[in-house]
Chains A and B, each alone.
Chain A
Amino acid sequence: MKHIKLFESFTSEYNQLIDKYIGEIKNSLLVLFDDYDAKIRHQSHNIFIFTLDFDINQIDIDHFIREINISLDKLKFNVNGDISNYSLYSVNSSNIQTYIFGTNSIEEFDNKLEKCTSKEIQTLFGTTFRLQLTINC
């Protein structure tokens, strides 16, 4: 008699689960993936890291924040997810990132991002930035 293997393997099912959620998070953040150079990866437990590179002088900050808010609503609805941290890094030509600030509030992120359009900040950090979102779901 042949035995039917009912359990695929824990790691295989775990990886499938991660892929499924990465796909669904991508769908939720589609406006950001469509408009920017964005990536998503699983970090650990229920934490996923989303990164998005942009040039501060080439974006409309109000529109950018609106897109993040739309994505946040979709995340909440689609995968019961939330953004627990918004961090901003500067990125140089060798792709080395330097931490600038981090916050858990979109309003504070918006306020601080506005300040990054100043000449002083751009002299210090350049104009290419990386937004890193910590997503819990």
Chain B
Amino acid sequence: MKHIKLYEGFKSDHDKLVKTYTDKIKDCILYLSDNYYTNIEFINFSDFVITITIRKNDDYDNLYQCIIDSNEKLKHELNSEFNDVTILSQESPSWILSSNRLLINQLEKYIRTNIKDIDDNEYYTIKLDLSLT
């Protein structure tokens, strides 16, 4: 009699679960990924990081709104929201602005005043931390 293998292995099943939710996050942040280079990375347990790379010719005016819209969609679809925002510059390896969700409006001010001044080859990285419920 042949045995049917019911379990592929925890790692394999876990990777599938992470992929399902990564795809769902992808759907929720379409506002961002349509306009900017974005990447979603699973960190640990239920923690994900969404990285946005901002270059000189990107449309900065929409960036803040795209983040807010993505956050709203995440709240609605996955009952989760960004819990930390970090901006890193290409030149400085350490963060230059970090705020929790209560201070997320600081991000708008920062984007409007600072990021526009970057050179052609320069870029900024915005990291959005997301812990799924």
Which residues in A have some Cβ–Cβ distance to B below 8 Å? Answer: 7, 9-11, 13-14, 17-18, 20-21, 24, 44-46, 48, 77-81, 136-137
Q: Is the CB of A9 within 8 A of B10?
A: no
Q: Is the CB of A10 within 8 A of B3?
A: no
Q: Is the CB of B7 within 8 A of A10?
A: no
What are 21 A-B contacts defined by CB distance under 8 Å?
Answer: A7-B21, A7-B77, A9-B79, A9-B132, A10-B17, A10-B46, A11-B45, A11-B46, A14-B14, A21-B10, A21-B13, A44-B44, A77-B5, A78-B6, A78-B7, A79-B9, A80-B7, A80-B8, A81-B10, A137-B10, A137-B11
Expressed in whole angstroms, the minimum distance between the Cβ of A70 and any Cβ of chain B is: 16
Q: A7-B78, A77-B3 are in contact. Are A13 and B10 (CB under 8 A)?
A: no
CB-CB nearest in chain B for A22: B10
Instruction: Give every chain B residue within 8 A of A81 (Cβ-Cβ).
Output: 9-10
Q: Which of A10, A17, A21, A45 has the most CB of B within 10 A?
A: A10
Expressed in whole angstroms, the minimum distance between the Cβ of A69 and any Cβ of chain B is: 19
Q: Is the interface of A mostly helix, strand, loop or mixed?
A: helix
Q: A7-B24, A137-B9 are in contact. Are A14 and B46 (CB under 8 A)?
A: yes
Contact of B11 among A13, A24, A46 (CB under 8 A): A46
Expressed in whole angstroms, the minimum distance between the Cβ of A83 and any Cβ of chain B is: 14
Instruction: Give every chain A residue within 8 A of B10 (Cβ-Cβ).
Output: 17-18, 21, 46, 48, 79, 81, 137
Q: How far is the CA of A9 from the CA of B131 in the complex (A)?
A: 11
Instruction: Give every chain B residue within 8 A of A11 (Cβ-Cβ).
Output: 45-46, 132-133
Within 8 A of A (CB), among B88-132: 132
Within 8 A of A (CB), among B1-54: 3, 5-14, 17, 20-21, 24, 44-46
Instruction: Give every chain B residue within 8 A of A80 (Cβ-Cβ).
Output: 7-9, 12
